[in-house]
Amino acid sequence: MSESIVFTGGGTGGHVFPALAVVEELKSLWQGRIIWIGSNKGIERQLLEATGIPFFGIPAGKLRRYFSIKNIIDIFRVIGGLAVSLHILARERPLLLFSKGGYVSVPPVIAARLLGIRVITHESDAQPGLATRINSRFAEKILISFSESAGYFSDKMRKRVVQVGNPVRKDLFEGKKKCGRHLVGCPENKKVLLVLGGSQGSAQINYLIRNNLDRLTKACFVVHQAGRVDFREGKQQNYFTAPFFGDELKHLLAAADLVVCRAGANTLWELAALGKPAVLIPLPRSASRGDQLLNAEIFARNGAAVVLPENDTSGIRLLEIILDLLDNKKKLKQMESRARSLSFPGSAAKIAELIFAYGH
């Protein structure tokens, strides 16, 4: 068997896309075999099909901090995931395992430790998730995106913490403003408001935007990723909507004067790298562990974004903020500069170098 390095993680694109950016950089340093361990049912299998990276699926149980009868069932899935991971890793005997997080990553990380395989783990959010907190106990290096994340680890563990930022796909920097405006048919005299709710969309953001479309489309051109679940055709002038943006997203981001979105780490780091001002509506604690709230707070504190709490946000308030920002060229420029100041250029290359160094 040729020398190999294993990547693991999944559950959302936010765990997969940054890792693929690292894979791209790693391939320029090292010509060995790269494989991926993920969930049998996760989005990672679908995303990896086009990459040519060998994929090995394992049973995966969700890690919950609250009582649920599903926890009992998922214990057996986690045990099954550990058994399959041990089999895969014992056969492959990789030089190193790199974890990008998500509950599916825990069994492979534990299996790697049991087999004496070195582990590096990476966290995108400011507040480390439960999977990262578990994985960090078995990792030789704990890589973080936000400096604030270091405070969540003990003094002993902090010695293994390295801030490297969050990897961003190279192709995002290839976006062309003119191409983005042409793709959606935006007139020359209109500024572009890009609304992103993630691949599944955001019912709340969709509601707020749709209820104010008449006024918004008088002031700007609205490009709206509505998600596959809540998509509706839009015939209104100065409005373009789609369930999901794929390869064209890089051009739409280049064309955007302002972005309205959630506060997932992957999206925020992409906005920072591209210098895009944003209005953030983070998921509340009732729908998450609160990670988006802290991510958004950091961007707002640094002047890169305006934050509107979902539970406190009305369509009128959102409309007022959007219109005020689009009418304030100086403010947008300042936010653009502040966003870029938060970025971490070369993050993917730095992580690839660490993987290469620790794997040899």
The answer to whether the 4-166+345-358 and 171-342 domains have the same CATH topology is: yes
Q: What is the pLDDT of residue 199?
A: 64
Q: What is the pLDDT of residue 4?
A: 96
Average pLDDT of the chain is 92
Q: What is the pLDDT of residue 41?
A: 81
Among the residue ranges 37-46, 81-90, 273-282, 341-350, the one predicted with the least confidence is 37-46
Return the number of other C-beta atoms located less than 10 Å from residue 1's C-beta: 8
- Map residue 192 onto helix, strand or coil: strand
Partners of 99 in beta bridges: 8, 121
**pLDDT of residue 302 exceeding 80:** yes
Sign of CA dihedral 233, 239, 242, 244: negative
Mind listing the pLDDT tens digit for each residue in 236-276? 999 999 999 989 999 999 999 999 999 999 999 999 999 99
Mind listing the pLDDT tens digit for each residue in 69-92? 666 667 778 899 999 999 999 999
Rounded CA separation 256/278 (Å):
10
Task: Specify the pTM.
Answer: 0.91
Rounded CA separation 261/267 (Å):
8
One-letter amino acid identity for 327? D
Order of strands, edge to edge, in the sheet holding 118-123?
A: 55-58, 33-39, 4-8, 96-99, 118-123, 141-144, 161-163
Q: Write out the DSSP string of 45-107.
A: HHHHTTTT--EEEE------SS--THHHHHHHHHHHHHHHHHHHHHHH--SEEEE--SGGGHH
CA proximity to 310, closest of 204, 224, 227, 213: 204
Identify the residue whose tokens are 């060995």: 32
Q: Is the separation of the CB atoms in 206 and 228 below 8 Å?
A: no
**CB environment 95-122: b (16+ within 10 A), e (fewer):** bbbbbbbbbbbbbbbbbbbeeebbbbbb
Rounded CA separation 164/161 (Å):
10
Rounded CA separation 344/143 (Å):
13
CATH architecture of 4-166+345-358: 3-Layer(aba) Sandwich (3.40)
Among the residue ranges 65-74, 269-278, 340-349, the one predicted with the least confidence is 65-74
Which range of 40-49, 69-78, 161-170 scores highest in mean pLDDT? It is 161-170
Q: Is the separation of the CB atoms in 101 and 132 below 8 Å?
A: yes
Q: What is the pLDDT of residue 261?
A: 96
**pLDDT of residue 64 exceeding 60:** no
Q: Is the separation of the CB atoms in 238 and 217 below 8 Å?
A: yes
Q: What is the pLDDT of residue 1?
A: 45
CA proximity to 326, closest of 235, 192, 127: 192
Domain boundaries, the chain: 4-166+345-358, 171-342
One-letter amino acid identity for 239? Y
2 pLDDT tier (thresholds 50, 70, 90) = low
- Map residue 312 onto helix, strand or coil: helix
Rounded CA separation 38/40 (Å):
7
Q: Is the separation of the CB atoms in 99 and 108 below 8 Å?
A: yes
The DSSP output letter for 286 is G
- 171-342 topology per CATH: Rossmann fold (3.40.50)
Mind listing the pLDDT tens digit for each residue in 168-206? 999 999 999 999 999 999 999 999 999 998 667 788 999
Among the residue ranges 23-37, 152-166, 199-213, 332-346, the one predicted with the least confidence is 199-213
Over residues 275-290, the mean pLDDT reads 86
68 pLDDT tier (thresholds 50, 70, 90) = low
Return the number of other C-beta atoms located less than 10 Å from residue 64's C-beta: 12
Q: What is the pLDDT of residue 11?
A: 81
Over residues 126-132, the mean pLDDT reads 92
**pLDDT of residue 309 exceeding 70:** yes
**pLDDT of residue 19 exceeding 80:** yes
